[in-house]
Amino acid sequence: MQHLKLSVQSERKKCKFVFIFRVKEKQIELQIIKQYIQEYSLKDAHKNNSRSMMIANFNFIQSIGIVSNPNNKNEINEIEKVIMLFQELDKQVFPLIYVDKLIKNDISTSNNDWIKLGKEDCNWIGKPRKNQNLNRFINQEFDILIDLSYSKNFCLQYVFVQSQAKLKIMNTSDLNKQFADMMLEIPNPHNKIAFAKEIIHYLKVINKESQ
């Protein structure tokens, strides 16, 4: 009887293990499918974007779009400093931020003019659902659009690719080779202030002789 009881327990453990394994296997399959659809969506959006790329000297730039996904107050403060840096140079700055619910209130209280997106604003693959503010951001022909993401985020990638901005700038990566007009590399990619200053430096050099 004791032997039978142990056998039943052993079979239950085996069944439980097989069930968990199959669930994880399905999750992996779903993640692969999701990633494939994301990659296809980015390429399709890029292919169907009829914008014209234009590079201007920084002194002639008026509007700057920014996309980012700060994960804590320190990163929020850093994005604020980047915005202030551009504003002090008489540039109009339009931020679009992807945030977690936990820090959404931290941004909302002091940055009411920021467009905010979250997981609840996207479909199952992470594609943002269109609304009036998002449509306005995507269709606005910024002189430059800068990706200041702290980590890979499909929602922001999709907005970046769909944007009608004249010049799109990102940190160097394999993704950027397909979708960015300009790629810059700095020692610490998470130092967004240093990245912004590097952009200013290069754009001030570009077309300098034509001023």
Q: What is the CA radius of gyration of the chain?
A: 22
Model pLDDT for residues 124-166, shown as the tens digit of each residue: 889 999 899 999 999 999 999 999 999 889 999 999 999 999 9
- At residue 3, the pLDDT reads 46
Q: Output the CA torsion 178→183→189→194 (10° steps).
A: -150
Helices in the chain by DSSP H: which ranges? 2-47, 73-87, 101-110, 132-139, 154-162, 176-179, 192-205
Average pLDDT in the 35-51 region?
Answer: 88
- Residue 131 has a CB neighbour count (10 Å cut-off) of 12
- At residue 99, the pLDDT reads 87
Least confident of 45-59, 142-156, 191-205: 45-59
Indicate the pTM of the whole model.
0.82
- At residue 21, the pLDDT reads 43
Would you state the CATH architecture of domain 58-210?
3-Layer(aba) Sandwich (3.40)
Q: How confident is the model at residue 102 (pLDDT cuts 50, 70, 90)?
A: low
Alpha carbons 196 and 91: distance in angstroms, whole number: 13
